[in-house]
Amino acid sequence: MRFLAVSTLLLALAAGIFAADEIPTFAKHWQTSGEFTVAVAEAMPAADFNFAPNPEEMGFGKLMIHVTGYNNMLFATVSGMKAPAMPPALAAAMKDPKGMFDKEATIQFVKDSFAFCAQALGQITPEKMDRMFGPEGRQASGREFLWRGFTHTAHHRGQAEVYLRVKNIKPPGYKF
Domain hosting residue 30, numbered range: 23-166
Domain-located, residue 3:
no
- The 8-class DSSP code of residue 101 comes to -
Per-residue pLDDT of the chain (176 residues), as tens digits, is 554 444 443 333 333 433 557 889 999 999 999 999 999 999 999 999 999 999 999 999 999 999 999 999 999 999 999 999 999 999 999 999 999 999 999 999 999 999 999 999 999 999 999 999 999 999 999 999 999 999 999 999 999 999 999 999 999 998 77
Phi, psi angles (nearest 5°) of residue 99 = -60, 145
Domain-located, residue 74:
yes
CA–CA gap between residue 131 and residue 140 (Å, rounded): 8
Domain-located, residue 13:
no
Domain-located, residue 5:
no
CA–CA gap between residue 116 and residue 102 (Å, rounded): 21
The pLDDT, as a whole number, for residue 8 is 42
Domain-located, residue 161:
yes
Domain-located, residue 17:
no
Domain count, the chain: 1
CA–CA gap between residue 72 and residue 151 (Å, rounded): 14
Domain-located, residue 6:
no
CATH of the domain at 65: 1.20.120.450
Domain-located, residue 4:
no
